[in-house]
């Protein structure tokens, strides 16, 4: 995700040019940093399954079944683990192995999946789906990779509905200018307050630095552990 919250088409110009987006492939300039890739692989390996939007599923289904040998550490879990697709236009049977359509309305279908046995469900990409899940308070954890770039507009998981949603930082680390972080919803929301007017937005102008107290792309859906279900 960019600093201005854009997560559209990080992997290439043809990935998603909708809305006139002209910066496809913007993430590739940061490939020299190993940390995001290592972090992403660990998330994919630990997942119990994946919940994907239609566009992301179609992109993955066209690539990962025939992925080159050097990418098998990612391809194997993506190909073999269950994949649930949120789509009103696709129909079963779905061509990519272990893929099924999410049953019923989004909220009912996701709630049903979260009650099943198995590891946590991970949502990769799927910007519009993640927005819908956040809107319905269905996300148990956000795991984001944040890159030091401003894209000036594009698809984002960030909502602009005027609703406050508080999150607690679980983990963060940085390398090569890239930040990876995870956060969980916190409840109840914190109190409102005020700060002195001389503490302004975090801009560096000339030799003077002003401190910012700014509020703070993988979403995780928790399933009950075996100990939870057996008790």
Across the chain, which has 231 residues, the per-10-residue mean pLDDT values are 93 90 92 79 93 94 95 95 96 95 94 90 93 94 94 94 93 90 86 63 45 47 64 48
Could you tell me if residue 188 is inside a domain? no
**Residue 27, in any domain of the structure:** yes
In a domain, 76, yes or no: yes
CA dihedral 155, 211, 180, 172 (to 10 degrees): -140
Give the relative orientation of helices 34-46 and 72-80 as an angle to the nearest 10 degrees.
30
CATH code at position 82: 3.40.430.10
Q: Is residue 207 part of a domain?
A: no
Please count the structural domains in the chain: 1
Q: Which domain holds residue 119?
A: 1-159+220-225
- Report the distance separating Cα 131 and Cα 126, nearest Å: 9
User: Do the domain assignments include residue 108?
Assistant: yes
pLDDT at 216: 36
Dihedral of alpha carbons 144, 164, 154, 86, sign: positive
Within a domain: 82: yes
Residue 51 lies in a domain: yes
What is the pTM assigned to this prediction?
0.81
Instruction: Determine, yes or no, domain membership for 165.
Output: no
């Amino acid at each position: 995700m960019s600093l201005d919250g854009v997560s559209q088409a990080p992997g290439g110009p043809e990935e998603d040019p909708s809305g006139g987006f002209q910066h496809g492939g913007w993430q590739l300039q940061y490939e020299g940093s190993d940390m995001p890739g290592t972090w992403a692989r660990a998330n994919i390996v630990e997942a119990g399954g994946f919940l994907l939007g239609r566009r992301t599923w179609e992109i993955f289904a066209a690539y990962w079944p025939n992925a080159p040998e050097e990418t098998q550490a990612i391809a194997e879990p993506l190909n073999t683990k269950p994949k649930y697709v949120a789509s009103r236009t696709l129909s079963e049977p779905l061509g990519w192995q272990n893929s099924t359509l999410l049953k019923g309305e989004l909220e009912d279908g996701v709630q049903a999946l979260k009650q099943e046995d198995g590891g946590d469900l991970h949502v990769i990409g799927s910007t519009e789906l993640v927005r819908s899940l956040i809107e319905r308070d269905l996300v148990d954890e956000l795991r984001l990779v944040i890159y030091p770039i401003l894209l000036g507009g594009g698809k984002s998981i960030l909502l602009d509905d005027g609703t406050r949603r508080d999150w607690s930082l679980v983990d963060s680390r940085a390398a090569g200018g890239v930040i990876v972080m995870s956060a969980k919803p916190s409840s109840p929301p914190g109190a409102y307050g005020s700060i002195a007017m001389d503490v302004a937005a975090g801009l560096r102008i000339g030799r003077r630095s002003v401190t910012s107290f700014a509020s703070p792309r993988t979403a995780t859906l928790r399933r009950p552990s075996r100990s939870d279900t057996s008790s």
